[in-house]
Structure 1
Amino acid sequence: MIDETDIRIVEILQQNARTPNAEIARQVGMAPSAILERIRKLEERGVIEGYSARINAEAYGLSLTAFVFVRADERLGAPLTGERLAEIPEVQEVHHVAGEDCFLIKVRVAGTRAMRLLLQDKLGAIDTIRSTRSTIVLDTVKETAVLPPPTLGSNDD
């Protein structure tokens, strides 16, 4: 189980994954060796899946963000389309969704020409895709990968 101390450690790491163990220990009120052990256990249990740098997409040359609804001719639960979508470098997220569409994907590309090529050449090459609907993002108000802390003792599944 995850406890209040683990939650605090995760919150600190979500704000800055490069925070030294000694600094986490100071903030939490524990020894650095105990923090190291807790982080190791959080990683082993899959609570912490990895560490990465957040890159400014626009500064990186990827100024267009879009969400694309994908409809596929594949029986429910078949993984082929989702797996193929996940292999495309411009696709940042792939979500299997309920409703008329099968998948919702988030993509980042350089601009409208790159978007057209992505739809035409990469998504078009996946023979199970029947149709797509794209929504281009004009401005992003909030975007985060930071998760809110869980409520301890909650029975929600």
Structure 2
Amino acid sequence: MHDIQLDRIDLEILDYLQKNSRMTNADLARELGMAPSGILERVRKLEQKGALVQYTARVNPEAVNQNLLAFIFIKVADGLGCDEADKLLSEIEAIQEVHHITGEDCYLVKIRVSSSGELMQFMKTSLRNIPNIVSTRTTIVLETVKENQHIVIKRDTENDES
């Protein structure tokens, strides 16, 4: 994945689609001054290279009663790289993100649930089923000031192939 070569136009396509994944090839072509067929081919190549991995809709958590956001720091006995814990945490539907982290803990997970009661139930059931968890620390978010999945795309003109 680290060897994906992208030129300036590829980066611009990614940037536009990241802002609006419903943007049509015709609209992309118009924005970039290219033929729609050329844009379609580039988008397909970006998908094949693994640079463009998914088109999604962003749902307001409150609209589906997922009002509580929490981050859970997890320490496991096996330490970083415990394949069993990785797999089991990744399979839990309520967990949105699983990150290996440095420091005292091994994982940081992000979870959305409807209430503190549901969070407590999750801790008692789902996490209890994962062997080797030594400890957890949970931080409940009171207010989200900023949240997005947008990756800042830097256009490196030195490697520009277009």
**Residue 54 (structure 2) aligned to one of 50, 54, 57:** 50
Q: Residues 48-76 of structure 1: CA distance to partner in whole angstroms, max 9, x if unpaired?
A: 01111101111111000000000001144
State whether residues 8 and 155 of structure 2, in contact with CA within 8 Å, keep that contact through their aligned partners in structure 1.
no
Cross-structure match for 1:64: 68
Query: Map of 1:75-114 to 2, 5 A cutoff?
Result: 75-114=79-118
Cross-structure match for 1:73: 77
Q: Secondary structure at the match of 1:51?
A: coil
Cross-structure match for 2:9: 5
CA distance in 2, matches of 1:103, 1:141: 23
CA-based RMSD: 1.2
- Unaligned runs of 5+ residues in structure 2 are none
Cross-structure match for 1:138: 142
Q: Secondary structure at the match of 2:129?
A: coil
Moved beyond 4 Å, runs of 4+: none
Q: Are residues 1:24 and 2:18 paired?
A: no
Q: Which amino acid aligns with 1:106?
A: K
Q: Once the 2 structures are TM-superposed, how far is the Cα of residue 150 of structure 1 from its aligned partner? A: 2.7
Q: Secondary structure at the match of 1:124?
A: helix
Query: Percent of pairs identical after alignment?
Result: 44
By relative contact order (CA 8 Å, sep 6+), the higher-ranking structure is: 2
TM-score (normalizing by structure 1): 0.94
Q: Which amino acid aligns with 2:83?
A: P
CA distance in 2, matches of 1:70, 1:151: 37
Q: Which amino acid aligns with 1:99?
A: G
Q: Which amino acid aligns with 1:64?
A: L
**Residue 117 (structure 1) aligned to one of 117, 121, 145:** 121
CA distance in 1, matches of 2:48, 2:57: 21
Q: Secondary structure at the match of 1:24?
A: helix
- Unaligned runs of 5+ residues in structure 1 are none
Identify the structure with the greater helix proportion. Answer: 2
CA distance in 2, matches of 1:141, 1:37: 38
